[in-house]
Amino acid sequence: MTKKGILEKLGLIELVEDKKTEGETIAVAPTQPEGEKKAEPIVVASPIEKAEIKEPIQTGIEDKLDVLIESYEKNKFLSIEELYRNKNLDRDTKQTIFIAEVFMKALPENLPIDIKKKSALNIIEASGLKKEDLLNDAYIRIDALNTVLEDVVNKTAEIKAKNDLSIKELEERIQMLKRSVEERMAFEEKQSSIIEYEIQRIINIVDGIK
């Protein structure tokens, strides 16, 4: 017979079914007459669910990935086409300064420079293009490329300065570690010397009385 059954048989508890919670039984003490000591209720509690344990977020891998991405972006080589695309200058050749280059290459190579220049301007005008528009496109491209070039140079200087500082700190650290090794070696030599001397002294005493 179970413990609960024994308590029921002795009349110490009565069963009360909880209608709200299916399958859960709560045992309470019966009503006691006045003047008698009231028995403490016995409650059969439902099992406690295990608390969920959240694993710590692993940021180490993400940090390393960010460093790799940053390093890649710093040294990512861009073609001229990509640079123009980033600056929204990837236009149809017919609307850019490069159409003048096409016209100039189409002319005979043995033409004098002045005649070649005048001929190219005549072709541009005949094509319905404006010299000023082509020159404006050229100036915009030069400014955009100079901006990118300046950024590249400045970023290189920044990385170099940062790395030079790290190298200096590492070199100082290396020198400190070397000094630490030298001091330890000197300590070992001194300590070993007196220990070996004492060992030999004891051996000599032993040999004298053995």
pLDDT digits (tens, 9 = 90+) for 19-63: 444 444 444 444 554 555 555 555 554 444 444 444 555 566 766
pLDDT digits (tens, 9 = 90+) for 153-189: 999 999 999 999 999 999 999 999 999 999 999 999 9
pLDDT score of 21: 45
pLDDT score of 68: 58
Write phi, then psi, for 15 (nearest 5 degrees): -90, 135
pLDDT score of 192: 98
CA distance 177 to 181: 6
pLDDT at 116 > cutoff 50:
yes
100 touches 120 (CB < 8 A): yes
CA distance 94 to 102: 9
pLDDT > 90 in the chain, percent = 57
pTM of the model: 0.53
7 touches 42 (CB < 8 A): yes
pLDDT score of 90: 85
pLDDT score of 205: 94
pLDDT score of 167: 93
pLDDT score of 93: 87
Least confident of 168-172, 190-194, 206-210: 206-210
Helix-strand-coil split of the chain, %, nearest 5 = 65, 5, 30
CA distance 124 to 99: 8
